[in-house]
Amino acid sequence: MKLGILINEGPYQHQASDTALQYVKAALKKGHEIYRVFFYNDGVNNATRLATPPQDDRNITKEWSSLAKDHGIDLVVCVAAAQRRGILDKGEAERNGKDSDNIEDGFRISGLGQLVEAGIQADRLITFGD
């Protein structure tokens, strides 16, 4: 089955992103295809490479990044939600006159149309949120 994933909460504060990560791993193991993972609301905070959780804890952002790399998963961060919360790639930083970017490898910033498209193209769209 082709699955779209929507994550609406940030890392650590809520379990949503952890649960989504476990879900995606389990789905891949069962042979399902992940069409796209879309990060919205505070979910965009999953994409910052500047987070430094304690060493004995999981690093959710790194886990998404390596999962995306290993399985070619499309990780998309909503541009409007990201701008509000200070999540920027190089292009966005330059466009908005900011002195740095902070997006982790494997994530890309794009529009909400990518979420709607995932809803259209995937067999199921699964939301992880509050």
Nearer to another protein, 66 or 127 (CB): 127
- According to CB under 8 A, which residues from 41 to 60 bind another protein? 41
Task: Please report, for residues 14, 60, 109, the alpha-carbon distance to residue 52 in angstroms, rounded to integers and kept in the order given.
Answer: 17, 10, 21
- Find the part of the chain contacting another protein (CB under 8 A) among 15-23, 29-37, 95-103, 115-123: 115-123
Show the DSSP H helices in 30-89 as ranges: 60-71, 79-85
**Is 78 tagged catalytic?**
yes
CB of 81 to another protein, least distance (A): 6
Residues 6+ apart with CB under 8 A from 2: 32, 33, 35, 121, 122, 123, 124
Query: Can residue 121 be called a binding residue for another protein (CB under 8 A)?
Result: yes
- Find the part of the chain contacting another protein (CB under 8 A) among 18-26, 67-75, 96-104, 108-116: 108-116
- In whole angstroms, how large is the CA radius of gyration of the chain? 14
Query: Can residue 7 be called a binding residue for another protein (CB under 8 A)?
Result: no
Round to whole Å and give the CA distance between 130 and 122. 22
Segment holding 94, helix H or strand E: helix 90-95
Query: Can residue 115 be called a binding residue for another protein (CB under 8 A)?
Result: yes
- The catalytic position among 3, 78, 81, 118 is 78
* Binding-site ranges for another protein (CB under 8 A): 6, 8, 40-41, 80-81, 111-113, 115-117, 119-121, 125, 127, 129
Q: Which residues are catalytic?
A: 78
